[in-house]
Amino acid sequence: MDDHDSLTPRSPAEAYPLLKGAVGPILERNEEARTAFDLMCERGLSDEDAREEIARVLLAVMFHIGAGSDRLTAAGGGNGLRSEAFRRLGEGETAREIFDG
């Protein structure tokens, strides 16, 4: 088994921990994600809970990309949808409110 195979989830339950592991690098490289994270923490969310919200946004955006949803098109693509979601997280909504509402 090569390194790539070890990162490939074998079940849906394995995918989420891999995604959670990607949050740190996202926060380091994406200003919108970092701003949302900082604002959530300022409002009293724990570091862990704020990271969970970032992971949920990433997962939801990936779903919309895979589905080619109308919402994805309306947002101008994955980057637009991700930017909108991070902005809304920063304004106080949760990922569930953003994507279920």
Q: Using one digit for the tens of pLDDT, what is the confidence trace for 24-77?
A: 999 999 999 999 999 999 999 999 999 999 999 998 998 999 999 999 999 999
Residue (of 33, 10, 13, 15) closest to 89 by Cα position:
33
Q: Does some domain include residue 87?
A: yes
Interacting residues of 76 by C-beta distance below 8 A, sequence separation 6+:
none
Q: Does some domain include residue 8?
A: no
Q: Does some domain include residue 1?
A: no
Q: Does some domain include residue 50?
A: yes
Contact between 68 and 88 under an 8 Å Cβ cutoff? The reply is no
Banded pLDDT at 9 (limits 50, 70, 90): very low
Put simply, whether the predicted model's pTM sits higher than 0.75 gets the answer: yes
Which pLDDT belongs to residue 14?
A: 62
Q: Does some domain include residue 20?
A: yes
Q: Does some domain include residue 96?
A: yes
Banded pLDDT at 11 (limits 50, 70, 90): low
Interacting residues of 13 by C-beta distance below 8 A, sequence separation 6+:
none
Domain span at residue 60? 16-100
Provide the domain count of the chain: 1
Q: Does some domain include residue 5?
A: no
